[in-house]
A and B are shown apart, each in its own frame.
Chain A
């Protein structure tokens, strides 16, 4: 059985870039909106909840 390691070049570059981008986003800022997107919560929140969240975040 041939055991060559699968690099899957193109996909791998894109995946690692995505991971790195996430890292940069997290490291470079504590941005509340980006945090909601990253945690996949933004779609399920109403605008009222988002406003409250942002105000709460602003007061911290």
Chain B
């Protein structure tokens, strides 16, 4: 099928979008004006999702911006919901007859934000593919199989549905020398060998002619049976060889997908490691703060112990003074003015107060009283007020400070405990976790395909031996043996040539990209795709990753995407974002080089651009369902 023309894309319910894009008829381009957040990117991503993934493999494969996977249901709707996308297109067969095709993908389920991994719960996806208005209807995986086989949509969905995100991805791919292999893999998958198939077909026809002629001449029953057997084996051989080619194509495709996933995994691991390193830095900062707080609290407590005496005695001043007064007034210690009385008692030998004569005990008592006379310093001490020097120590302030420090320590504990990956980082981890099973599934698939390929190779070898034996034994073929042997040799030469041409294919695609770049940016610009440098832009014959600035490299991405797509139309989301002054030239380039251009433009992209693609733009609003 050739000359695909998209007629209609109808979105109903997916991510809350409801609109119909009705394209202009065959031979005309279409421009749709869609303001921000109306579903441009959703449309592009839905097309990629429908064409890349068959029904049985589509769940949790929808991507949107940097969310991989992203939800496809309406996240504002509660309960069961049904979403539907319809894509109608026509294509011409070899006889130039137009055929109608319609793909319809219906998704049912319920959005629950807590349902892992993305909230799409109880998903059921069903595909229906209609050929020529219902003359043939394919269901389920058969729909995607047909689209892949007849149109190779699965291989180029990323590029005929183009957007800024993909352009940035291509720019990164082009400027990363570590990803040249990936880039060249993409290029190799793009190469087709129309001449190869043509040569093989002609050789097959010749072989059939030989067999038919030989069969016509045979009269012997045994020879006829042998001939029938030979024809059957040869048909089986051709079919097995085709199956092997298809399996090899699938191995290449899955290997590339696995490599892309492994690259993404590596990228995510680096981001997560970096996020974790930031967390460690934050934790260390809080722990250091806590250490300082503990030291400060210890110092405060020590100073409190040191000043304890001061604040313990502060309340005892009055009591001490009272004791002193008591001792002074009632303690019966002799006062200095009693000294003469004691002396008089001793001299007279009797008590001067009561007149009683002093016995020996009384005499010793009076003498001891004489010795107990307190010295002057004691009298002064007892007469003076007891006081403690004033202290600046304020226990309440100290206590409040310690409590505040302890509270801060607790807060830091909470902060440390709450250090975990941010929501964005958690999404990275979730994405990383979802990649491992995908990579393993791809590895298993590749291993299975490789085993199938090995089995087919063995089968082919066996069939070749059988065919050779049958041919040699069949006398009717003897005279044409020279032709049959030569056909085998020629096929081997063709297969060898296909391998040789791989390097040249890179050069051819490089030249096509370069011509595209020159047509938009002007003759002094070119592009080069090579094993050593990847994809680089050139200015006046000098090539480099920094040449052309952002807008130049964006144009390079467009041209790369154009070279990578195997089908027209080209459907572009926000086509002139960051293109700068190259708008008109890009519009001219797109209009000149594609049979159908479908643009999903912002209102700001009309000037100097949209009218060159289509004279009339159609404004699209998102309708309430």
Complex alpha-carbon distance, A54 and B594, angstroms: 46
The residues of A that contact B594 with a CB separation of less than 8 Å are 9
Complex alpha-carbon distance, A42 and B210, angstroms: 13
Q: Is the CB of B195 within 8 A of A21?
A: yes
Partner of B493, one of A2, A25, A42, A50: A25
Complex alpha-carbon distance, A55 and B343, angstroms: 170
Given A17-B193, A54-B482, is A5 in contact with B494 using a C-beta cutoff of 8 Å? no
Complex alpha-carbon distance, A27 and B338, angstroms: 148
Complex alpha-carbon distance, A51 and B575, angstroms: 60
Most chain B beta-carbon neighbours within 10 Å: one of A25, A29, A58: A25
The residues of A that contact B518 with a CB separation of less than 8 Å are 5
Residue interface mask B552-581, A partner, CB < 8 A = 1:
000000000011011110000000000000
The residues of B that contact A9 with a CB separation of less than 8 Å are 512, 516, 562-563, 565, 593-594
The residues of B that contact A25 with a CB separation of less than 8 Å are 195, 199, 493-494, 497
| Interface positions of A from 29 to 60, Cβ below 8 Å from B | 29, 31-34, 37, 42-43, 47, 50-51, 54-55, 58
Interface flag for B585 (CB, 8 Å): yes
Residue interface mask B178-207, A partner, CB < 8 A = 1:
000000000000111111100100110010
The residues of A that contact B483 with a CB separation of less than 8 Å are 47, 50-51, 54
Interface flag for B58 (CB, 8 Å): no
Q: Is the CB of A8 within 8 A of B593?
A: yes
Partner of B593, one of A6, A17, A21, A58: A6
Q: Is the CB of B195 within 8 A of A7?
A: no
Interface flag for B490 (CB, 8 Å): yes
Residue interface mask B490-522, A partner, CB < 8 A = 1:
100110111011001100110110011011000
Complex alpha-carbon distance, A28 and B199, angstroms: 15
Q: Is the CB of A37 within 8 A of B500?
A: no
Partner of B482, one of A10, A17, A43, A55: A55
Instruction: Report the count of interface residues on A (CB-CB < 8 A).
Output: 34
Q: Is the CB of A17 within 8 A of B505?
A: yes
Q: Is the CB of B490 within 8 A of A33?
A: yes
Interface flag for B235 (CB, 8 Å): no
Looking across the interface, which residue of chain A has its beta carbon closest to that of B206? A42
The residues of A that contact B194 with a CB separation of less than 8 Å are 14, 17-18
> Closest CB-CB distance, A46 to chain B, in whole Å?
9
Complex alpha-carbon distance, A37 and B518, angstroms: 37
Partner of B588, one of A2, A34, A58: A2
Partner of B479, one of A14, A32, A51, A58: A51
Looking across the interface, which residue of chain B has its beta carbon closest to that of A45? B206
Q: Is the CB of B490 within 8 A of A17?
A: no
The residues of B that contact A4 with a CB separation of less than 8 Å are 519, 585, 588-589, 591-592
Interface flag for B487 (CB, 8 Å): yes
| Interface positions of B from 404 to 430, Cβ below 8 Å from A | none
Complex alpha-carbon distance, A55 and B486, angstroms: 11
The residues of A that contact B254 with a CB separation of less than 8 Å are none
Complex alpha-carbon distance, A8 and B512, angstroms: 9
Complex alpha-carbon distance, A47 and B478, angstroms: 13
Complex alpha-carbon distance, A21 and B193, angstroms: 8
Residue interface mask B211-235, A partner, CB < 8 A = 1:
0010000000000000000000000
Given A10-B566, A13-B190, A13-B508, is A54 in contact with B486 using a C-beta cutoff of 8 Å? yes
